[in-house]
Amino acid sequence: MANPIVWQSDLNVAASVAANGSSFIAASPEGGYIVGYDEGTEISQHAYSSAGVYATSILVDYTNNEESSASSTYLKNGFVVTTWVVDADGAGSLDIYFQIRAGAAQNYLLLTGPVHANAVTASNVETFPVVAPLANGNFCLAWFDSGNHIYSSAYDLLGNSLSAIWPVGPINGASPIYQGAARLNLTALEIGGYAVGYVDASGAARMSIFDHQADALVTEIDLFPGAGEEGIAGIAQLADGRIVAAAGKAGAAGLIIRFFSEAGAALTPVTDLALPGVDQDEDLNPRIAALHDGRFFIVTSAATEGTADSDIWGVVIKADGTMDGTPFQVNDPILHGVGSQSAPTIATLADGRVIVSWTDDQSGNGDIWTKIYDPRETGLRGGATGLNDDWYGTAFSDTIFLGNGKDTFHGGGSADFIYGDAGSDTLHGDASDDRIDGGAGADVLIGGIGNDIYYADNAGDDVQEIPGEGVDTVRATVDYALGADEDKLYLLGAATTGTGNGLSNFIYGNANANILDGQGGADRMYGDRGDDAYTVDSTGDLVFETVSGASGGIDSVFASANHTLSNNVENLTLTGGNINGTGNGIANIIVGSAGNNFIDGKAGNDMLTGGAGIDQFLFSTALNAATNADTILDFNGADDFFRLDDAIFTQIVTGFLSATAFQIGSAAADADDRIVYNAATGDVFYDRDGVGGVAQVKFANIGAGTALTAADIFVF
């Protein structure tokens, strides 16, 4: 592929402070990182979020004596171990100390230390310690000794030594050689041990592998026999378990790369990697970061051919030892100009991105710079940690299951599935069509651009969208109200109440007795099974019940606007002012408001209540005494009217009913009678031919003894 993407450009993390010295980086298992450096006689180290934003400073302190040459690492549980050199007597008698601090969630609280690591070698001058996490959650240290030795040891979380303080490299009689300001390379191995890279007195790059559990040296290796390498080799363990080593090649502008098993057995291939334009006499001292997909990322400082201008170079190498892309300059040539760029370090962040730091001495103060790259070629798959993860997704489709902590995740540019699990998480889908599930806890879910789907399972879940970011859907197992720019809502599981917003929403109920309210906009509400209740506030609101009969429940609409019941919905209550309510083909209960209502039950034996106001009851469907006779529960002749459709009542002249066409009694009295009212029973009949041969048909009941006259009936 092309060279890795620059995720964050060159960032000066220590501008123009006194005597910064070289830097170190530690990548947190949660996603952030630490950058540290010497600052005068003190050590500065600062924690950054995974976005590359400063979070806090982490104190490194022993006494008021001079402190220098620090190195830090995060352990698997998020603790931070820092080791450094202390001039305890102020006279150059240098010793190695370390401290253990809790992680970011506990504000890096000091737990253990400072602990004197080199007590058994305290008579010598100890320098340039390095620290690495072990696979079992503990850690190991290695450091230079003025007696041309390198020592290492392993420790537990309380600072107790787990092994002897081992001299590195005496197995073949070739003592290590002090390398000035060059740091050792220390890498923990998945089998439980660790490897130390160094240079012996002959200039050969070597590696010692230790098993701290057996308290034993496993093997000691000449990394590049006969190759004429220069400087300390960079070493790292790859995703497939192999160890890779890289060193500058003497007399050639490039690197030599070699692979080993975890036990130290040499493997193929051996790769010579040219760095075009680099001075062939440069001492490269490369550093390596293993990538999650089996590749690895090398950085090194190298002078451009024919100049004294040292730059930082990077290259990504495939698992087979060949280049993935081409070598590239890390430091921005325009930003940094002509000046000495040196001492690069590198670490792979928890989400697979890579951070590089280095020293820029243009100002004479040794400024420390960082740069973040994204070398990932596929989307993230699988789980994170149980800590407070802070990750960024890839440009590809990610499927990520975060752990039990308070997690933050940004999905990137493709369609992602993000699951937060327990904890109160903040999950960003960013671009494209994402599926975001916060899991347990009160989560903040932010989809970004695209047609996103959210899963809400906590009443405290907060879905956030802004206008123009797509058609977004919430699937809720708890009662839920759509936020301002969410479009669709599905109720799942035990959820009962779904509420819309000012948009035209789609709201879907479940098998429970749902309460659905679209709020503003022309909404579509689907109830499914259960005794559902709908709130309608717009003539554009539509209610759908797809399940008929008893299995569909008894459903009710509460309308503040004109509304017609759709199929399979039983009840309608008008809550607005002067509005109309219309039934459907089944037996409905329709209740008017305090205003003036038009109420039409349509087919079915309906129960109608007008309420206060001047109400008009419409009859506009084919008459049937058995299946389509409505009951009006509060008819008041002083205010209310019958409105009869002349398409049904064909033998009545339109307008108010003539007194000669109205008869009180049990049957018509003459040929002109068309409406017969039996005051004893309250039944109202239509007789199309009066005393002729066609039987009268009951179409309403207003209650026995209720007053009714021809003036209360209007035909249209």
Please give the share of the chain, as a percent, with pLDDT higher than 70: 91
Range of lowest pLDDT (53-57, 215-219, 278-282, 576-580): 278-282
Judged against a pLDDT cut of 50, whether residue 93 lies above it is answered with yes
Most confident listed range (80-94, 299-313, 353-367, 606-620) = 606-620
pLDDT given at position 171: 44
Judged against a pLDDT cut of 90, whether residue 639 lies above it is answered with yes
Judged against a pLDDT cut of 80, whether residue 213 lies above it is answered with no
What average pLDDT score do residues 291-318 get? 88
Q: Find tokens 């378990």 and name the residue.
A: 241
Strand order across the beta sheet in which 390-392 lies = 390-392, 408-410, 426-428, 444-446, 462-464
**In 292-366, where do the E strands start and end?**
296-303, 310-317, 328-329, 341-348, 354-360
What average pLDDT score do residues 195-213 get? 82
Judged against a pLDDT cut of 80, whether residue 136 lies above it is answered with yes
Higher pLDDT, 233 or 281: 233
pLDDT given at position 173: 45
Torsion angle of C-alpha atoms 152, 157, 158, 160, degrees rounded to 10: -30
pLDDT given at position 51: 96
Judged against a pLDDT cut of 50, whether residue 167 lies above it is answered with yes
Helix (H) or strand (E) holding 357: strand 354-360
Judged against a pLDDT cut of 90, whether residue 633 lies above it is answered with yes
Judged against a pLDDT cut of 50, whether residue 598 lies above it is answered with yes
Judged against a pLDDT cut of 80, whether residue 376 lies above it is answered with yes
What average pLDDT score do residues 447-463 get? 95
Instruction: Judge contact between 195 and 205, C-beta under 8 A.
Output: no
Short-list 10, 682, 616, CA closest to 329: 10
For Cα atoms 39, 40, 41, give the angle at the middle one, nearest 5 degrees. Answer: 105
Taking only the tens place, the pLDDT of each residue in 22-68 is 789 999 999 999 999 988 788 889 999 999 999 999 988 766 678 88
pLDDT given at position 180: 45
Helix (H) or strand (E) holding 515: strand 515-517
* pTM (two decimals): 0.87
Q: Find tokens 């310690």 and name the residue.
A: 129
- Residue 199 β-bridge partners: 205
- The separation between the first and the last C-alpha atoms of the chain, rounded to the nearest angstrom, is 78
What average pLDDT score do residues 504-518 get? 97
Q: What is the mean pLDDT of the chain?
A: 90
Please give the single-letter amino acid code of residue 223: L
Judged against a pLDDT cut of 60, whether residue 493 lies above it is answered with yes
User: Mind listing the domains of the chain with CATH numbers?
Assistant: 5-374 (2.120.10.10)
Please enumerate in sequence order all residues whose Cβ is within 8 A of that of 130, keeping only pairs 6 or more positions apart, or say none. 71, 83, 141, 142, 143, 183, 184, 185, 186
Judged against a pLDDT cut of 70, whether residue 281 lies above it is answered with no
pLDDT bucket at 147, cuts 50 / 70 / 90: low
pLDDT given at position 169: 61
pLDDT given at position 1: 65
Range of lowest pLDDT (174-178, 377-381, 547-551): 174-178
- Residue 132 β-bridge partners: 140
What average pLDDT score do residues 485-494 get? 97
pLDDT given at position 3: 94
Judged against a pLDDT cut of 90, whether residue 297 lies above it is answered with yes
Cis peptide before 114 (omega within 30 of 0): yes
- DSSP label of 182: P
pLDDT bucket at 324, cuts 50 / 70 / 90: very high
What average pLDDT score do residues 70-90 get? 91
Judged against a pLDDT cut of 50, whether residue 181 lies above it is answered with no
pLDDT given at position 123: 62
pLDDT bucket at 2, cuts 50 / 70 / 90: confident
Judged against a pLDDT cut of 60, whether residue 172 lies above it is answered with no
Short-list 622, 531, 617, CA closest to 569: 531
pLDDT given at position 480: 98
